[in-house]
Amino acid sequence: MGKKTKIGIAAVAVGAAAWAGSKAIATPQVRPGKKVLTYTTPAILAHRGGSAIAPENSMAAFTKSAELGVDGFEIDIRLTKDEEIIVFHDEFLDRTTDGAGRVADLALPELRKLDLGYRFADDKENNPYRGKGETIVTLKELIEKFPDMWINIDMKDSPETYEGSLIPSKLWRLIDSLGVHDRVVVTSFFDEQIDRFNLYAQNSVAIGAGENEVRKAYAAFNSQFGHLYQPKADVFQIPVKSSMFRLDLPRFIAFLSNLNVPVHYWVIDEPEAIKTLVAAGAKGIITDRPDIALQTVKDAENN
């Protein structure tokens, strides 16, 4: 037996011993349950209020989705110049309103003058929402308007910006003052923002997984050391695919579910895709078409 072969065998033996040792002493860290995430059937969350059935982030969209019977809303938030938290996705106004400029450079009274219905349905002439008074909604207004809805809140402002540095604390104070700790999930693409928020919340509010946490979980799942993974999030809201990696594998969903971390997928509008994800173990569907998603899940339950 050659020297290189002996070294290779020794390395494999050491790796196997490390795996066996870690497996023997590791105790899976199951995530403590959160009230907002205790449901038996897949939750249907209207993405930005249901942006395919009414202008995104408008009160019309939220009202329409609530009347359809959704479990909650998936929303984005940003901070205005006068430090109000509004329900809005884009950094700039151009795509979804009749205005222009950065959200953070305008105060709420200025933003209220904009028409959220302006670009709905590709701004066609038959747009029923244009000029009908649909305007910016604050997070406080949304929470108070729909007391029976749970809301997934995504902090969009980058932690490197002034508004991003403020929004975790501002959001915590609003949630705490309204006493809605058990009605919301707080997340962000930026793991740093989630960590900042949780410094205030101290695990009293359910938190989602940022991009780094998702990568960490998927790497653990694909390794021999998945038993060492300790989730920092209460729920994963993810696409079905990231780069070349499939995130909708039943085994990956089960890996997280066994740690008491449900998985929600966005943005899913097609009935067959919804059926496939639910069958794979998904606990939530984030959709622009809550009407389709609700009917699809209902039909699946009846069959």
Query: Which residues form the catalytic set?
Result: 47, 89
Distance CA 188, CA 208 (A): 7
The DSSP code sequence of 121-160 is: GGG-TT-TTTTS-----BHHHHHHH-TT-EEEEEE-S-TT
Cβ contact 134:115 at 8 Å: yes
Residue 92 is classified by DSSP as B
Distance CA 239, CA 300 (A): 22
Which residues, in sequence order, are bridge partners of residue 102?
A: 92
Based on its alpha-carbon atoms, the radius of gyration of the chain, rounded to whole angstroms, reads: 22
* Centroid of chain to Cα 183: 14
